[in-house]
A and B are shown apart, each in its own frame.
Chain A
């Protein structure tokens, strides 16, 4: 050690060390040190749209999100369940403090989590669709067909989500860009305008998409799926002729679509009645709808069909025996929606959530024709549905009676499917009449949901709040 204490030599060592250190620092201290590796789970956005598989993944992920979250999920948080409970289909047995309880008592608050979720999840899906549309414009690697098909799907998604939003919330912003500077202050537009934008988007989608399905399982929308939604929007927008025409295109496409005569088979994956269904997240999984509605214990853990609803089936109506199930104890019987029957996973999935199906198109055309005064053709369409349910021909003789019969038929045919019942009563102005006696908490203003409080805070151009909140 003595050697190290020698001053000159020590200095030698010191200088070497110092020199090495300086060189070392200069060597590694260039700016590149702070360049981190890219995250494994992320892909630069431009790269996503330079490859068909990843570009498709950007679209199909929106379907997965529609299936799993927000308004259109089959889970109990979706509108199939919640609007059933909000309207006259379901009695609620779950926790009185859950966000869902307020749906049943029609006591929604602007702070309700589910309401907020419907709103924000929907606009996130719309953003994703707009992002696809904008980025496809600059994509160079995809073929023309690939681009048109993805664009068509994006327009379809954008239209569909806005359509449901406006039916829940009334006036809403219609979002067509990803620019947050515009979107954060986006103003509301009237329901009429929403319909006209929706129709415009769907018309574009209809020209962009092919008639043939991309997947035999009908999990990607084709031109007919667009028309199926379009006919509904026309109907809601009271454009009777257009509604009837759009429905006719579908009803005439018999090579693809026919009514399933056996009610038990209507919701099977292979059903010819299906226009668009969603693929489950996991092979072997069936629908969230089945898991939401079916129960094995009584009193039911969360919800059961109301007695009024069950009693409105005629005794011969096959839909009661095929599409509802029941559980009883010593004193009472409770009924549940049994359209989707597979509660558990199966080795191969048997049922997919069906979003659009042919029966609705008959009822749309029936209603549009009745509105146009064509009672005979209207009745023909209505009777197709009644006949399948094992019911006699409709008796209605006047336009009003016929419209009422169609409304009643829609109730029994489309129950527990994406809030049809609530929307039908609403657009026919019959909500108060149907619900005020049945539901003690019902107020006329409950026809619209409250705009989420948080959204009003963040974007005051959404004011005024809907009436009653």
Chain B
């Protein structure tokens, strides 16, 4: 002991710069901590710390806390006309004394007569108010628009002040999310973020969205999803369903539905290299950071939000009625020279009533679905510990016949704690979400568009399904074939940090997620005509279960230091992540009763279709150095070294990095006094990111168990074409942007230009089937470029005491181009891509006209060989990339009324309905009435055919692959409108809002075949929803 202390004393005298305080001498009292032979450690550590102490110790000293007599001070905080709740009031230089105003803007705080109160609130200028012995102090805050520049933006491993960020980050907050009656997190982002293109793939509850941030980087269509991070924990967005069970949706079930929008505080989307390089290999397609709500200190507050409403299909396709349809059919047979209608042409051969008319779209997809959204919770806390508990629940029914519901329930708990000295901090977040989805196994939209309009009644008089003498497949037969999905999702994370020395912080992010998803689809015997006598012995069940859990540990050290005019921030850290997925899919057929159909053990034969467990391991080291000088010149360096188990042993590791810089030119002398320009920043970044999205184990040479029995053996099949040599895909990103505020930031503009180039493309290169497979995994030496512009404008159009009006506008345009592709002509992509053209191109035939003589479509015979052939004549390039897209949001506040509305717009092309030849037994869009009937006709569409004229059939299919199959599908949509009224209650600490919200209420488009927003035609379009709700806080 003595040695230890003596050494220290000795060293201390050497370090004579060190400030000596009384407390330092107390070291002797604590040295007993190191008893029992720990002396050596003690020496080593002492030496170490003393070598640091000259530079750090001076700052550690604290002022002695003095508490002279305090008085209670009360008052009201207003913005000039209305009280401001939630304003924080502290006593200057005593950070642990805080008060928060209640809903009437009232506060109470203890302070000494000579203290100064610090009043701060986001969006307002900070006020320093000397107490001067007063006991009642009413405070008026002034709006400060520039404080929006002071908001800290989450950049993942660090946060950065809006004004100082060097990267491209788009953001929405709870305020934007809460106005939207939706249950999917991606839906809340639509139209609100520049550069983020989101398309809803189906209106079916529980369905998915397609998201592309700054265009398509990878040739692999399934490798363009961004990285999702929820409170620091990566959230795998890979599908969790199974093709045999996820039948209602165009894509296999996505886990993203688990995220509860009501629990979200903010969503940040990281776009450029500066922001994404720190995510290295997983940042190529952008990063979506989701931060959940945290509690605030102050009075314990309860909140309840409840809303309920109705949804229906946005737009129907314009289809023929019975008269039009039957005349088409008659003409079709006449055209084909057939006078006696065949026995199977039930619609016109007299079997079916030819006067019936059913609008199948209304009948099968025209119901009003009910939506109920509810969340409630409590939050509060002390200076040291805050908490928030939120529970939510939603229920949606469908627009289909039958009783189908989608239920979602979630609980979220957040606790933050800080030690009294503020050095130790702990944040724990836990979210648990349940989804219970019950849907028809097949979307009725397809049937609704294709059924002949004079098809028979759905029901017989006795209420049973009408099979019309086995002449049709009653579409309601599939009502009994249901899809059920249950998802349980736990995401929990903790951030533990400790400030080792002033400015030096050790932090660890810990995360664990556990997802369990069970999907079933049944096909009961009741889907068959009872005449067929098919019993439950033919009923079948498909069950698929996915379990995915992952853990992540990210220890980090960060250091912040200000020297005079310079400021440095450094982060060093590493990531260890493990993700294990177990999935099993089984089927059962033959049940003794349909009541037992959900019980696999009751199936007379059951099979395991698929069963596997896969592991993904990921490791990284990352760092960031940020240097700013004089708050004007900022440079940001980020880097990451990544290792992934998805590559062969030789290719596991790769390095990524970026440099970003910003110049706040508005702080320069030549502008700083300007009345016009209030803010100005130029920023630029360049760097690399990558992608390992190729699936697990693809580099291995293996045989896979097929689960199929033959000769008493379960089969083994070659898994893939073997290639162990593929490695990381690399994406180089370059960005330059300007941000400017005018007139005290009442007009704020940003304009960004970017260029992203993806090389070393990690793809399943399509292979001719003669290779035995469809593709091989490899790095293709192709270069894909996305280049674009993004503009955002925020204006405060009017700001008065009773009325204010703000507008947000964003518009983005992305141009995708294939720059390099070695030997494209000779490759398997020769008929998919073109040099210098976007990846989303379509190669099509050129439709010329309808030949007035033959009544057949005429296509351009590009190679003049007298035939229309693929690929020679299918060479017309149509670019399917949206030309531009964006949103225009307005918020108007008049006294207690707030009106918020968002128009989303997309300028794009999309496919027309993919049709069978007009004239066959399927309904057609009404535009097909303009078809050729006799020689000399100048019609838009060719002659009808009942299927007997093979030239007409062939041409009809060519038509579907021709320039005529693509049309302008641009639209402007009133994406969201929300009106809320704050009830003027004169109750202390109670606030109540009434709201009316609408989603997708109006859609303006030229597109005729239904709603223009879809990725695959034939699925339920997005729904329009109106809800009324109440928000109650007390």
Contacts and interface: CB of A to CB of B under 8 A. Distances in A.
A pairs with B: yes
A459 B708 contact: no
Contacts of B170: none
A64 B709 contact: yes
B953 A120 contact: no
Given A11-B56, A97-B922, A458-B768, A296 B533 contact: yes
Contacts of B537: 344-345
Nearest to A173: B770
Given A41-B611, A64-B709, A67-B710, A10 B60 contact: yes
Contact of B770 (A1, A56, A183, A299): A183
Interface string B489-527: 000000000101100101000000000000000000000
Interface in B26-44: 26-27, 30, 33, 42
A139 interface: no
A63 B60 CA distance: 78
A210 interface: no
Interface string B619-645: 101000000000000000000000111
Interface string A1-30: 101111111111111111001001100110
Nearest to B769: A120
A128 B718 CA distance: 7
A183 B721 CA distance: 11
Interface string A427-469: 0000000000000110100000000110111111010010000
Given A4-B423, A178-B772, A220 B711 contact: yes
Contacts of A281: 607, 708-710
Interface string A80-123: 00000000000001001100010001110111000000011001
A57 B506 CA distance: 55
Nearest to A217: B711
B66 interface: no
B769 A124 contact: yes
Contacts of A61: 706, 708, 710, 715-717
Interface in A27-53: 28-29, 31, 33-46, 48, 53
A5 B50 CA distance: 16
A68 interface: yes
Given A37-B615, A186-B770, A180 B776 contact: yes
Contact of A119 (B24, B710, B769): B769
Interface string B912-946: 00001000111000000000000000000000000
A105 B713 CA distance: 41
A5 B421 contact: yes
A355 interface: no
B419 interface: yes
Interface in B731-749: none
B771 A64 contact: no
Nearest to B613: A40
B576 interface: yes
Nearest to A63: B710
B711 A34 contact: no
A42 B698 CA distance: 11
Contacts of B797: none
Interface in A239-263: none
Interface in A174-216: 175, 178, 180, 183-186, 215
A348 interface: no
A10 B615 contact: no
B710 A279 contact: yes
Contacts of B831: 457
Q: Range of interface residues on chain B?
A: 35 or more
B605 A297 contact: no
Interface in B881-919: 916
A298 interface: yes
B590 interface: yes
A441 B722 CA distance: 44
Contacts of A452: 769
B132 interface: no
A407 interface: no
A17 B498 contact: yes
B45 A43 contact: no
B700 A131 contact: no
A39 B697 contact: yes
B60 A9 contact: no
A96 B921 CA distance: 7
B769 A455 contact: yes
B62 interface: yes
A8 B8 contact: yes
A107 B500 contact: no
A282 B718 CA distance: 22
Nearest to A214: B711
B703 A43 contact: yes
21 contacts: A4-B421, A6-B30, A8-B8, A9-B30, A13-B500, A15-B45, A34-B618, A39-B612, A40-B613, A40-B614, A44-B700, A45-B702, A68-B708, A180-B776, A183-B770, A185-B768, A281-B708, A283-B605, A299-B471, A301-B532, A462-B768
Given A127-B718, A443-B950, 19 more contacts: A1-B420, A13-B500, A18-B500, A18-B506, A25-B555, A33-B617, A34-B643, A37-B613, A39-B612, A40-B612, A43-B702, A48-B703, A54-B703, A57-B714, A61-B706, A97-B450, A111-B957, A124-B772, A441-B948
Interface of A: 1, 3-18, 21, 24-25, 28-29, 31, 33-46, 48, 53-54, 56-58, 60-61, 63-65, 67-68, 93, 96-97, 101, 105-107, 109-111, 119-120, 123-124, 126-128, 130-131, 173, 175, 178, 180, 183-186, 215, 219-220, 278-279, 281-285, 295-299, 301, 332, 344-345, 440-441, 443, 452-453, 455-460, 462, 465
